[in-house]
Amino acid sequence: MRILAIGDVHGCSIALRTLLNTVQPGSDDIVITLGDYVDRGPDSKGVLDILLELEKTTQLKPLTGNHEILFLDAMAGQVDPEAWLRVGGRETLISYAPEATVMDWRQVTPAHVEFLSERCLRHWETEHHLFVHANANSVFPLSEQSDDWLFWTRFDDSFPHVSGKMMVCGHTAQKNGIPALKPQAICLDTWAYGEGWLTCLDVTTGEFVQANQAGVIKTFTMADLLGDPPTATDILVAKQA
């Protein structure tokens, strides 16, 4: 069994499909997707179709991101739809209705709405890792985290969690295409919709696989990222002795 974490996809279905074809997660693998499946990139509809497939073949743990919240709130009339369109929502609607000239929520696949509203999770954790979309307040357990921390707070404001667990998150785009590290925290949003990569991390081995919208694959390890193999193991995998 592997525990695989995948960073923010943002409508990049080619990168996601390429990544999954390379990693080939199976029924014994836990796959944690860190949220922000929609907006900004060209094919949010395709990304959600892939996740529904993945849900049938792996132990998928899909987290909610702030862009899923905006999407659902815009559909429900709880935020100004025009404001959502300006932060990537326009690309999402186009993925459902390429020829549409006006906004028509009836074009959105009902199964996608159900998936986002009913089956996506606020957070998830294992014995050694915390998985959140954006961040976690270091002094509260995940069950007591606010929406502001889980969905909106940037990685810059992260500190080692009181549990001693490693936090794995997305949300804060690393425009150099390289996962960001802090003590007991790693950010896997590597700007897939821009000029970066979609990143998958095997949290047990410290192995990374990245894919982009051109279908290019890149692999490296935590040791490569840090240049110090012993430290890499100590940081990524909580002491299991």
For 114-146, write each residue's pLDDT tens digit. 999 999 999 999 999 999 999 999 999 999 999
Q: How far is CA 100 from the centre of its chain?
A: 29
For 182-205, write each residue's pLDDT tens digit. 999 999 999 999 999 999 999 999
Within a domain: residue 153? yes
Collapsing DSSP to helix, strand or coil, 180 comes out as strand
Taking CA atoms, 50 is separated from 58, 77, 166, in Å, by 12, 27, 28
Within a domain: residue 80? yes
Within a domain: residue 241? no
pLDDT given for residue 70 in this prediction: 97
pLDDT above 60: residue 228: no
pLDDT given for residue 102 in this prediction: 73
Structural domain boundaries enclosing 44: 3-236
The number of CA neighbours under 13 Å toward the Cβ of 200 is: 25
Q: How many domains does the chain have?
A: 1
Q: How far is CA 28 from the centre of its chain?
A: 20
Q: Where does the pLDDT of residue 160 fall: very low under 50, low under 70, confident under 90, or very high at 90 and above?
A: very high
CATH number, domain with residue 61 = 3.60.21.10
Within a domain: residue 204? yes
Q: Where does the pLDDT of residue 226 fall: very low under 50, low under 70, confident under 90, or very high at 90 and above?
A: confident
Within a domain: residue 85? yes
pLDDT above 80: residue 100: no
pLDDT given for residue 99 in this prediction: 84
pLDDT given for residue 187 in this prediction: 98
- Mean predicted confidence (pLDDT) in 208-216: 97
Within a domain: residue 159? yes
Within a domain: residue 27? yes
pLDDT above 50: residue 232: no
Helical pair 44-57 and 13-23, crossing angle rounded to 10 deg: 20
Locus of tokens 């990693």 = 23
Within a domain: residue 15? yes
pLDDT given for residue 192 in this prediction: 98
Q: How far is residue 72's CA from residue 206's CA, in Å, rounded to a whole number?
A: 34
